Amino acid sequence: MPYIQISLAEGRSEKQIRDLIHGVTELAVSVAGAPREAVSVIVTEVPATRWATGDVTVAEKRNTQEKS
Helix ranges (DSSP H) in the chain: 14-32, 58-67
* Residue 53: strand pairing partners: 56
**Residues in CB range of 30: below 8 A, 6 or more apart:** none
Catalytic residue among 2, 29, 51, 57: 2
* 2 is an active site residue: yes
**CA–CA dist 10, 48 (Å, integer):** 6
Annotated active-site positions, please?
Answer: 2
